[in-house]
Amino acid sequence: MAEFIEPLEELVEQFRRLEGIGRKTAVRLAFSVLNFTEEQAADFASAILNAKTNIHLCPVCQNISAGDLCPVCASSSRDTSTICVVEDPRAVMAIEKVKEYRGLYHVLHGAISPMKGIGPDRLKIKELMERLTDGTVKEVILATNPTVEGEATAMYISRLLRSQDIKVTRIANGVPVGGDLEYADEVTLFRALQGRIDI
Amino acid sequence: MAEFIEPLEELVEQFRRLEGIGRKTAVRLAFSVLNFTEEQAADFASAILNAKTNIHLCPVCQNISAGDLCPVCASSSRDTSTICVVEDPRAVMAIEKVKEYRGLYHVLHGAISPMKGIGPDRLKIKELMERLTDGTVKEVILATNPTVEGEATAMYISRLLRSQDIKVTRIANGVPVGGDLEYADEVTLFRALQGRIDI
């Protein structure tokens, strides 16, 4: 496989470790780095080390955070009676962009997937349960992805919460706004019809 | 633009500097790094610094090299009477894979592009001319890309060499092997017809 000189091959291999990067793209990225100045390369390397050193998980919601608590958990203006459960930090950012939701979050860091060998114990479910013990939280919104794994995870958590006096909701499935019914898949259309609302 | 916590945003910005990486991909790559172990992140950072420190240009052919001379220039079994001129190191690797060409190379590190403000002086053309002074080289194969910039560069170099007793050739244009005439563009088909050979 070593088609390049050794330091370049090593860099290509490092890029290949990144999510969704194949060999051809890794080669392109490695050559990009070679075109950097020494200073740019040093900045790049230190950004990697910095991110790894300074970013940790918020002890409350498990979202990534540079401070002690994440900005959402540290804020005094959030509605502490609602927790929105998501698979990863990117989902938190996507929901925050909407500027509609004022509650708290809980990041699971994955979804249950027997295929990938990820069981409930690999997710931050225990930490979620601990947050629900003191009675502050009245509603848990399950906002895991609308995939087989996400649905399974939502189902699993909803069962765990069945015995507790907490409202458990799931985000709606349906046709995306701006989409075309013609291109919507059958399962989505079925869910959109099932979830129809009065106007 | 700072939608993420600062060390993450910084890492995203660094990834965006790489060729062909937009914001969404940069975010995905940055999150990949967060999933690395401390050791993996350190390996990645040092591979970047290593590549930058240990890779330089071969003083003869201007190809990237980890040693003093590149493997091709250092080899005693190459035909020193032929130089194949290419735009970048990736082209050298592509031609080497064919295992057909036994001559030397010269890497220009770009092509003439008035649109991007790249003139002949920004390329390693002066270095090429110096290699042609001692009379060893009998043929220069212009293997710049079959694009407007590559053609202009080939034309420019061929004019520089007109006064010298050196054969100057250009790689053939035509339909790619395994391709379908139906999908070949008109210019390629025109060139394929023009360059037809007896069988």
Identify the CATH number of the domain in which residue B34 sits: 1.10.8.420
Contact A47 B18 (CB under 8 A): no
Q: How far is B155 from chain A (nearest CA, A)?
A: 26
Contact A51 B11 (CB under 8 A): yes
Contact B55 A40 (CB under 8 A): no
**Cβ–Cβ < 8 Å for A125, A108:** yes
What is the H or E stretch that residue B84 is in? strand B79-86
Alpha carbon A22 to its chain's center:
22
Looking at the structure, tell me whether residues B93 and B27 fall in a common domain: no
Partner residue opposite A48 with nearest CB, options B35, B44, B66 = B44
Q: CATH number, domain at B102?
A: 3.40.1360.10
Tally helices (H) and strands (E) across chain B.
Answer: 8, 6
pLDDT at B182: 82
Distances (CA, A) of B57 to B121, B134, B135, B142, B162: 17, 22, 24, 20, 28
Contact B5 A52 (CB under 8 A): no
Looking at the structure, tell me whether residues A94 and A153 fall in a common domain: yes
Looking at the structure, tell me whether residues B45 and B85 fall in a common domain: no
Residues B141-198: tens digit of each pLDDT: 999 999 999 999 999 999 999 988 999 999 988 888 887 888 888 888 888 888 888 8
**Cβ–Cβ < 8 Å for B191, B174:** yes
Chain B CA closest to residue A55? B7
Q: Is residue B62 part of a domain?
A: no
Total domains present in chain B: 2
Residue A117 has pLDDT above 70, yes or no: yes
Looking at the structure, tell me whether residues A26 and A80 fall in a common domain: no
Residues of A in contact with B62 (CB under 8 A): none
Chain B CA closest to residue A94? B3
pLDDT at A2: 58
Looking at the structure, tell me whether residues A118 and A86 fall in a common domain: yes
For chain A, what is the mean pLDDT? 91
Q: Is the ipTM of this complex over 0.95?
A: no
Looking at the structure, tell me whether residues B114 and B80 fall in a common domain: yes
Contact B52 A34 (CB under 8 A): yes
pLDDT at B1: 44
Q: How far is B88 from chain A (nearest CA, A)?
A: 10
